Chain A
Amino acid sequence: MLTGPKLKILQDLVGSYSKEELIWVNGYISGKIDTAGTEIALQADTPARKMTIIYGTETGNSKKLATDLATKAKKINVIVKLASLDQYRLTDITKEENLFVIISTQGDGEPPIAAKKFYDHIHHNGFRLEQLKFSVLALGDTSYPLFCKTGEEVDEQLHKMGGKRMVPIKKCDVDYEADAEAWFTEVLETLHNAPAIAAPSIIKTVPQTAVKSNKKIYTANILSNINLNDRGSSKETYHMELFVEEQVDYLPGDSIGIMPENPVTVVNAIIDRTGINKNKLVKYKETEYTIFDLLKKKLNISFLHERVVKKYAAIVKQEIPETKMDLIDLLRIYPAKDATVFEEVLQALPAQSPRIFTIASSHAAHSGEVHLTVEKHNFSVNEISKTGICSDYLAQVKPNDTFEFFVQKNKRFKLPAADKDILMIGPGTGIAAFRSFISERDATGATGKNWLFFGEEHFVSDFLYQTEIQNWFETGVLSKVNLAFSKDQPENIMVHHRLLEHGKEVYDWIASGAYTYLCGEKAPMSVEVENTLLTIFENHGGFSKEAAKEYFEKLKEEGRYSKDVY
């Protein structure tokens, strides 16, 4: 009897539910049938209702979902206000009645930059939201220890302030479609039956665990690992070629995730300092590990978040300033009384986060291998030079070593149709994505034109993949290449300066349909590039400041501007 979209909705719904959820839904539906008796249909003739959808996004997933929801809602005559959290007037929240928040988690459990103000606003201003009915769709990734942390916090906080949960929070893993669809239906339906809603009380009791998308774990065998930077460079950027027994499921634009292991030296130092037995078995999040394995493989013990340092301070009962710190330093300066206290500390430590690396290869061009472009992080903390855990580990792996990884799809960062022109801006390791893009287009004979902007410190020592880029340029795969080497002249020249220099042509390309991609360092690079693009739109597109912004937004919506920044 159900057909078409309705059937689909139902199937999606059912398909996406956990056992407990199905049981509940079952009860819920039957409940519905006895009451009004009228079947639930989201008809166009139902009285108009208002809803506000706000989203906080980094890579655009939340935005996409927010727009989908808005479209669906409009179809059934709901008056929708849709806003990105950096556009949303914070004071409006006290006036909202039906508020729907779609927000992702970034960093280690932090809100997206665009949502920071909103996040702080609701956390620090002591106002109440008695009139508010709301629901949160939290986007996240189960491979991060603080899964959907930001969504949870927002949900908690709005509730604390007096808001009523209209539909319980839904946490989504990286393949969020099914979960999101289910939440949509629930939201729209509840909105539709708002007065009749008896659900909340029941709903709150219902566990809302995300459908965990268990990512496939692959084993990489290192074929080669070379430092692309020449002698005299201040950088170390490694080109790694990985062989994987089974076909790895990835497309140009995707990344891989690696769970780094902590350096044995540090782990042993910690064990010595605390006098704990390295072979003792302890439970951490339902699993048993030896102390040694726990510290080496499972826990994040470096540059601990203020949040964690606070907990540590509580456990060791000492005053510790609010700052990020390595565990070993904490133990040195604010020692834990004994091994048992240290075991408490262990429980307070967050699990290790995966490190993401953009894939620098293409199946078509590199016969199934996975290539990476990894910059070793060298930095110093009060004169002591340190290295990033994962990049340092990767910098050291040798041919025939192996490590495990999973693929991190990036739906928002994909090549367009073969005949479309593309503009690639990828300084530093940002080149990874574009080595993948260009190789793919070369191997598949895509007809669209390709224009690359690359930048680094020195032409002589830091021109990553120079010979490959030269070949693509000579064979015409790359129709244009522009380079910025910041330290080859007194004034710092960066990719955004080159963009500006070629502004007219950049605009002409984009205006005539080219797709623009940005990959690499988030700040300051990606910010400068985006501001420069706006300037270019103003200078050469004859747009006002505002119009330029709108034009940029339009490009993003049409998927003609995408970024993969970090």
Chain B
Amino acid sequence: MSEKKNLSQIEKIKTASDGLRGTLNESLHDEVTGAMREDDQAVIKFHGMYQQDDRDRREERAEKKLDRLYTFMIRLRLPGGFLTPEKWIAVHEIAGENSTGVIKITSRQTLQLHGILKGKIKPTIHSFSEAKLDSIATCGDINRNVLCSSHPKQSPIHEQVFAYADKISTMLMPKTKAYYEIWLDDEILVDKKEEVDPLYQDRYLPRKFKIAIAIPPNNDVDVFANDVGLIAIIENDELKGFNIAIGGGLSTTHGNTETYARLATIIGFADSEEKTMKAVYEIATIQRDYGNRSDRKLARLKYTLDRVGVDWFKEELEKRTGFALAPAKDYTFTDRKDYFGWQQNAEGLWYYTVFVENGRILDDEKVALKSALLEVAKTGKANFRFTCSQNLIISDIKESDKSNIQNILEQFAITVYTDATSIIRKNSMACVALPTCPLALAEAQRYLPSLIDKIEALLNKHALSDEEIIIRMTGCPNGCARSYAAEIGFVGTAPGKYNMHLGGDRIGERLNKMYKENLAEPEILQSLDALFQSYAKDRNTNETFGDFSLRQNWVTV
């Protein structure tokens, strides 16, 4: 059974938290600090919040005898990344009132607001709840936001598959009412039996737990980067079921050789909704019971799986579900991308995918995206979908409304902006990193744009500007922008320093490997210049940069 001996601190906090209540109310009433109490900082994660502070301001504030500028980041629960226009307007307004104003699309299809002061958390969650939005379980050792291929044009039955994201998310919700009590002032639950939680019990999972659903041939969700990946098997527009992959996870820790990035292993096929749901549920219970609860660095399902072995895991799963999974079905991924600009789905509804640099929606000198989207939402004629590459799809537009939306997009120069953005930039992403992320070792979203400027020049120089090379950057080895699953990955090691990874494939079925360590910008550009040159010269037809890197043995995978 799971290692009872020396449970990690977080484990003790969870079980002692009285259903994730902790001492949150006391923390909220501590007047002298903008922070939560130590243990509560772990507890609020389960409520979808992270305590952060503006790392740019630490030194200066310390000199002023001011405490760190503590604020909170709230992450919404949006299975499949979908919002109605009304909800978008709500988020827009809440962001303006209580947060930095920037609406951040994450690499897991949801939205984050940063910079919320302790005193503003309750009002913020109240407003969200009025708009029927919540942040339950978007962080913490629990099932996270469930992903699904975002673009409806990908399949006539996209909606049917998409519905699974919500069903799974609901199935794996914690039972505690703490969220409603603490943030929404519901009256205190006396009979705690009501919230007995057969899945999470009082200890929850050993670590975060991530689920994604992909609709081939596009692997836009990076399905193999998840603890559980479901690959929809569709035969002549009919959903047959799902291939189930388990044990994906990207994060590593510098200098900790026991940690590694891992792609999920396909363990079989489930041919019905009931079986699929049951399988997913029991995979979670196995991880609950067998995951490592003493060392959080080795607690994800990927380590559990490699410890117990795939065969054992399948047996145990069969025991728990009462059925055996069928052998996996064939499928093929050909892409891992967003379809920018106007697209039409089977029903004839229209979709416009907007390029959102690193998922940050605001009005800046480049483009007034935030205002534009508000205008679009106000028409009430378009839904909003978010992609796993931090972009946004203005969705489900009737033919008759298209010109109306088109006008707004033109009026705010969104179309020009999206069209004018280079292919390389559209295929790149970076994580948040500084100044809010406490774990950041180097810049990411604040730096990548300027690095891309220079890479664009290099590609130009070698006539490679049309190549759909995937570049991803993260400020630390946690890999939040999935830098290990990129053709060119940059992993921050220290301010201005990055490990450069090469050899990942284009569709997310092969991870990259470290090519060079601790590079500063000049070395990065030098290396790329040389690599691009030989790629332009010696590649085979249709050979991707990732595959070429491997053939050249720049790295060995």
Contacts and interface: CB of A to CB of B under 8 A. Distances in A.
Interface stretch (B58-66, B88-96, B440-448, B474-482): B58-66
Nearest to B119: A488
Contacts of B65: 228, 239, 464-468
B310 interface: no
A460 B62 contact: no
Contact of B64 (A226, A481, A483, A488): A226
A463 B117 CA distance: 14
Given A226-B63, A461-B66, A467-B65, 20 more contacts: A227-B64, A228-B65, A228-B66, A230-B60, A230-B61, A230-B66, A230-B69, A239-B65, A459-B119, A460-B34, A460-B69, A464-B65, A466-B32, A466-B65, A466-B66, A468-B65, A470-B32, A470-B33, A481-B31, A483-B32
Interface in A434-473: 459-461, 463-470, 473
Contacts of A516: none
A230 B54 CA distance: 13
A482 B69 contact: no
Contacts of B130: none
Given A460-B117, A488-B119, A229 B32 contact: no
A459 B34 contact: yes
The secondary structure that dominates the A interface is mixed
A230 B64 contact: yes
Nearest to B35: A470
Contacts of B64: 226-230
Nearest to B117: A460
Interface of A: 226-230, 239, 459-461, 463-470, 473, 481-483, 488
B67 interface: yes
Contacts of B63: 226
A470 B31 contact: no
Interface string B46-77: 00000000000100111111110100000000
A469 B119 contact: no
Contacts of B117: 459-460
B62 A467 contact: yes
Contacts of B34: 459-460
A467 B33 CA distance: 9
Nearest to A467: B65
A451 to B, nearest CB: 13
A227 B57 CA distance: 15
Interface string B94-138: 000000000000000000000001010000000000000000000
Contact of A470 (B60, B61, B62, B67): B67
A466 B34 CA distance: 11
9 contacts: A229-B64, A230-B60, A230-B69, A461-B66, A465-B65, A467-B62, A469-B32, A481-B32, A488-B119
Contacts of A488: 119
A229 B117 CA distance: 18
Interface string B22-47: 00000000011110000000000000
A464 B62 CA distance: 12
A468 B66 CA distance: 9
Contacts of A226: 63-64
A228 B34 CA distance: 17
A473 B63 CA distance: 20
Contacts of A230: 57, 60-61, 64, 66, 69
A545 B32 CA distance: 35
Contacts of A467: 62, 65-67
Contacts of A239: 65
B118 to A, nearest CB: 9
B57 to A, nearest CB: 8
Nearest to A474: B32
A227 B60 CA distance: 11
Contacts of A470: 32-33, 67
A530 to B, nearest CB: 24
B30 to A, nearest CB: 9
Q: Taking each of A226, A227, A461, A466, which has the highest tally of chain B beta carbons within 10 Å of its own beta carbon?
A: A466
A466 B63 CA distance: 11
Contacts of B31: 481-483
A392 to B, nearest CB: 20
Nearest to B67: A466
Contacts of B33: 470
A448 to B, nearest CB: 20
A463 B62 CA distance: 12
A236 to B, nearest CB: 11
Contacts of B67: 463, 466-467, 470
A460 B33 CA distance: 10
A369 to B, nearest CB: 16
A482 B63 CA distance: 23
Nearest to B63: A226
A127 to B, nearest CB: 56
Q: Taking each of B33, B66, B67, B69, which has the highest tally of chain A beta carbons within 10 Å of its own beta carbon?
A: B66
Contacts of A229: 64
Contacts of B60: 230
B66 A463 contact: yes
A228 B66 CA distance: 8
B305 to A, nearest CB: 44
B428 to A, nearest CB: 32
Nearest to A484: B31
A482 B32 CA distance: 8
A260 B65 CA distance: 27
B124 to A, nearest CB: 14
Contacts of A473: 32
